[in-house]
């Protein structure tokens, strides 16, 4: 099945940002927010599974894909403000937001800061650590230099070589993921590395402000997932209306590593939210 994307460009805070869309007239809007160094193009398998029932919008976050990359401003509060402008520009009526990692943090910030714009959120392993210890200035400079070297290497590396490296590191992913994943690595803006110097908004202050229906999906930290059982338990206390689901045999990229189980978790939540939307 071919995905016939439509491109949308919008301007916010002096930046020209881009979003893909698979329009479906009359269907509930669903925004998919990618993780760091991915892009809005990195949802092929999920998009195919949901495009018949939803109006899908897949933004390129600042510094990613076809969007501008400012010299700084890569925390979830800035990206949530970008997303609010996109929702208003496209005149979306309370979309559901599904975000992975960085995108999940953005979704949470949007729901907390702009509650009137959001119907519900799904959070796939957000970058919420139990504690945050900033690196020293010297360590930050070293990390930025190493990361910029990797980004520039990918930009100059043959596309197929990036895809092969991705397949080697993530052999359980479905083959439909590789083209978009490799493309996103060639599009990352080196300015994104400034995020290393930025202090993330405390998630423990953001979560209690979320009032909409919420689904947190976690996985196994031993396989690379970020949200630990302890953090998930604390989240459930801070956001009592939320559902929390653990998916075993998956790491940070849960939907890519356990797609069928992920969909079996997400679809009932989406259907319930959609039913409530129709009732209202």
> pLDDT tens digits, the chain, 280 residues: what are they?
578 999 999 999 899 999 999 999 999 999 999 999 999 999 999 999 999 999 999 999 999 999 999 999 999 999 999 999 999 999 999 999 999 999 999 999 999 999 999 999 999 999 999 988 889 999 999 999 999 999 999 999 998 999 998 899 889 999 999 899 999 999 999 999 999 999 999 999 999 999 999 999 999 999 999 999 999 999 999 999 999 999 999 999 999 999 999 999 999 999 999 886 554 5
Give the chain's largest Cα–Cα span: 56
Q: At what angle do helices 178-187 and 159-169 cross, to 10 degrees?
A: 120
**CATH number of the 6-134+199-279 domain:** 3.40.50.1820
Q: Quick one: pLDDT at residue 166?
A: 87
How many beta carbons lie within 10 A of that of residue 109, not counting itself?
Answer: 25
The torsion defined by the Cα of 190, 35, 155 and 62, in degrees rounded to 10, comes to -50
Strands (E) located in 53-167: 55-60, 96-100, 120-124
Please give the Cα distance from 150 to 226 (Å, whole number): 22
Q: Quick one: pLDDT at residue 127?
A: 96
Residue burial 188-210, b: 16+ Cβ < 10 Å; e: rest: bbbbbbbbbeeebbebeebbeeb
Q: What is the pTM of this model?
A: 0.96
Please give the Cα distance from 106 to 86 (Å, whole number): 13
- Please state the separation of Cα 126 from the chain's center in Å: 8
Q: Quick one: pLDDT at residue 274?
A: 87
Compute the residue count for the chain. 280
pLDDT tens digits for range 178-209:
899 999 999 999 999 999 999 999 999 999 99
DSSP secondary structure of 245-273: EE-SS--S-HHHHSHHHHHHHHHHHHHHH
Domain range summary for the chain, segments of one domain joined by +: 6-134+199-279
Sheet containing 6-12: which strands, arranged edge to edge?
6-12, 15-22, 55-60, 29-33, 96-100, 120-124, 214-218, 243-246
């Amino acid at each position: 099945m071919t995905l016939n994307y439509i491109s949308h460009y919008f301007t916010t805070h002096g930046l020209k940002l881009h979003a893909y869309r698979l329009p479906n007239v009359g269907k509930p809007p669903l925004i998919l927010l990618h993780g760091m160094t991915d892009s809005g193009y990195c949802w092929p398998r999920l998009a195919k599974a949901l495009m018949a029932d939803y109006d899908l919008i897949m933004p390129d976050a600042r510094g990613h894909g076809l969007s501008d990359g400012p010299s700084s401003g890569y925390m979830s509060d800035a990206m949530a403000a970008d997303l609010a402008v996109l929702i208003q520009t496209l005149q979306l009526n309370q979309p559901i937001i599904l975000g992975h990692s960085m995108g999940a943090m953005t979704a949470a910030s949007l729901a907390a800061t702009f509650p009137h714009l959001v119907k519900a959120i799904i959070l796939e392993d957000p970058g919420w650590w139990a504690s945050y210890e900033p690196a020293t200035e010297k360590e930050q400079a070293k990390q930025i230099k190493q990361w910029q070297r990797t980004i520039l290497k990918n930009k100059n590396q043959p596309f197929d070589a990036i895809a092969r490296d991705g397949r080697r590191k993530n052999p359980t992913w479905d083959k439909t993921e590789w083209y978009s994943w490799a493309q996103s690595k060639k599009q990352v803006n080196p300015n994104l590395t400034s995020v290393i110097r930025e202090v993330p908004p405390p998630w423990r202050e953001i979560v209690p402000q979320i009032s909409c229906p919420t689904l947190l999906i976690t996985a196994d930290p031993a396989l690379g997932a970020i949200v630990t059982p302890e953090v998930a338990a604390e989240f459930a206390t801070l956001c009592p209306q939320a559902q929390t689901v653990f998916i075993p045999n998956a790491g940070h990229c849960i939907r890519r590593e356990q797609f069928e189980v992920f969909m079996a978790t997400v679809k009932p939540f989406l259907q319930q939210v959609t039913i409530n939307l129709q009732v209202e």
